């Protein structure tokens, strides 16, 4: 059993920041990797052996590159392209990122029905110039990268086979209820840095969704419904002020929740709201809390820095303490609050006996 050895008393210092970033990032990253293990996440596709004889690469668009050793890939990235080149039918992995493409006409991908990855990020795609049926023939597309464009709405007719959808850093404000309909295999949805003010029930049908990033938007209300499969929900930098009492208890797989930099007050939720057995990491930093909300003993990381908390209450972590009843909290951030440094009750170490880092 680990004993709480140090209570670090630090008022706003750089060391604590780097520590925070480190713990925080490695933590979510590892969990994300774990949850994504069935797919190779990030990077390019690994070399794949094709049982068929290598198809001709003579059909390569002249603006692009088609390495003979990797006949299913088409590299057209970073070439100042203003228009999408044609996509030969043999292509499974198509890279068009970092160009100046503003539109995609219907039919552009109609020959490439075997596309599995499609990278269109870092262009200047405008919703009005992206055809409504560009994806209609793509039945096996798994990853679609459309981040860093000029989209104002979620593209229409997204393939139902999608597993990962990246739409962050656009200007999306419209989120029609059926925009994500039928995407039953989608595991990761990234919509951060857009202008979304309401999500409603449009996430309901995403039966496989594990990772949802809606941070840096204009949400005033949590999504009405989340998929039961969801494990990670990132909502930092929005305008949320309330959380319905039973919200988190409805989603038993939710482990990582970030609602920092919002407008939460203690009056905006109930004492039971965040006391749910599934949560492992909870970030409520940079809100307007004046009390530590009661949390479950299973919680491991709690970020509350940058609030207006004026008292330290052990009862928020442990209602009862003995050999078997104690908090699993490992990291607790309380710096940037109004807690007097002599306000730590003597029974704190017994309750928070697993804590390695407590910043006050």
Ligand X SMILES: *[C@@H]1O[C@H](CO)[C@@H](O)[C@H](O)[C@H]1NC(C)=O
Rounded least distance, CB 22 to ligand X, Å: 28
Site size with ligand X, rule: CB under 6 A: 21
For tokens 């203690």, name the residue.
266
- Among 319, 341, 343, 347, the residue binding ligand X under the rule CB under 6 A is 319
Rounded least distance, CB 293 to ligand X, Å: 9
126 forms part of the interface with ligand X (CB under 6 A):
yes
Candidate segments 49-57, 260-268, 320-328, 333-341, binder of ligand X by CB under 6 A: 320-328
325 forms part of the interface with ligand X (CB under 6 A):
yes
Nearer to ligand X by Cβ, of 114 and 294: the residue is 294
Nearer to ligand X by Cβ, of 87 and 234: the residue is 87
Residues 141-160 that bind ligand X (CB under 6 A): 150, 160
Rounded least distance, CB 279 to ligand X, Å: 11
19 forms part of the interface with ligand X (CB under 6 A):
no
Residues 230-289 that bind ligand X (CB under 6 A): 275
Contact 123, 98 (CB under 8 A): yes
Residues 167-226 that bind ligand X (CB under 6 A): 184-185
Nearer to ligand X by Cβ, of 45 and 182: the residue is 182
Greatest Cα-to-Cα distance within the chain, rounded to the nearest angstrom:
76
- Among 273, 296, 305, 330, the residue binding ligand X under the rule CB under 6 A is 296
- Among 61, 131, 244, 294, the residue binding ligand X under the rule CB under 6 A is 294
46 forms part of the interface with ligand X (CB under 6 A):
no
Q: What's the 3-state SS for the chain?
A: CCCCCCCECCCCCHHHHHHHHHHHHHHHHHHHHHHCCCCCCCCCCCCCCCCCCCCCCCCCCCCCECCCCCCCEEECCCCCCCCCCCCCCCCCEEECCCCCCCCECCCCCCCCCCCCEEECCCCCCEHHHECCCCCCCCCCCCEEECCCCECCECCCCCCCCCCEEECCCCCCCECCCCCCCCCCCCCEEECCCCCCCCCCCCCCCCCCCCEEECCCCCCCCCCCCCCCCCCEEECCCCCCCCCCCCCHHHCCCCCEEECCCCCCCHHHCCCCCCCCCCCCEEECCCCCCCCCCCCCCCCCEEECCCCCCCCCCHHHCCCCCCCCCCCCCCEEECCCCCCCCCCCCCCHHHHCCCCCEEEC
161 forms part of the interface with ligand X (CB under 6 A):
yes
Nearer to ligand X by Cβ, of 184 and 228: the residue is 184
Nearer to ligand X by Cβ, of 160 and 290: the residue is 160
- Among 320, 341, 343, 347, the residue binding ligand X under the rule CB under 6 A is 320
Query: Applying CB under 6 A, which residues contact ligand X?
Result: 86, 102, 107-108, 110-111, 124, 126, 150, 160-161, 184-185, 275, 294, 296, 316, 319-320, 324-325
């Amino acid at each position: 059993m680990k004993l709480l050895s140090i209570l670090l008393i630090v008022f706003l210092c750089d060391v604590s920041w780097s520590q925070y970033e480190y713990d925080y990032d490695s933590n979510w990253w590892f969990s994300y990797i774990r949850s994504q293990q069935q797919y190779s996440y990030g990077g390019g596709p690994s070399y794949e052996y094709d049982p068929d004889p290598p198809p001709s690469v003579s059909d390569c668009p002249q603006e692009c590159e088609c390495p003979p050793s990797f006949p299913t890939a088409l590299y057209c990235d970073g070439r100042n392209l203003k228009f999408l080149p044609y996509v030969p039918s043999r292509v499974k992995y198509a890279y068009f990122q970092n160009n100046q493409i503003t539109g995609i006409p219907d039919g552009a991908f109609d020959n490439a029905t075997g596309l599995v990855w499609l990278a269109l990020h870092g262009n200047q795609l405008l919703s009005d110039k992206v055809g409504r049926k560009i994806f209609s023939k793509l039945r096996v597309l798994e990853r679609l990268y459309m981040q860093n464009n000029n989209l104002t709405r979620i593209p229409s007719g997204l393939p139902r086979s999608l597993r990962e959808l990246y739409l962050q850093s656009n200007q999306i404000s419209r989120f029609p209820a059926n925009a994500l309909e039928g995407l039953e295999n989608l595991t990761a949805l990234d919509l951060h840095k857009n202008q979304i003010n309401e999500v409603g029930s449009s996430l309901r049908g995403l039966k496989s969704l594990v990772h949802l990033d809606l941070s840096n938007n204009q949400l005033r209300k949590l999504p009405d419904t989340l998929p039961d499969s969801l494990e990670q929900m990132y909502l930092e930098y929005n305008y949320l002020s309330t959380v319905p009492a039973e919200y988190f208890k409805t989603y038993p797989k939710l482990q990582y929740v970030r609602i920092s930099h919002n407008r939460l007050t203690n009056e905006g939720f109930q004492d039971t709201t965040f006391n749910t057995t599934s949560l492992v990491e909870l970030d409520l930093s940079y809100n307007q809390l004046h009390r530590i909300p009661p949390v479950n003993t299973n919680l491991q990381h709690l970020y509350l820095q940058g609030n207006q908390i004026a008292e330290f209450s052990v009862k928020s972590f442990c209602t009862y303490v003995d050999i078997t009843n104690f908090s699993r909290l490992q990291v607790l951030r309380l710096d940037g609050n109004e807690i007097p440094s002599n306000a730590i009750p003597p029974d704190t170490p017994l309750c928070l006996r697993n804590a390695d880092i407590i910043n006050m």
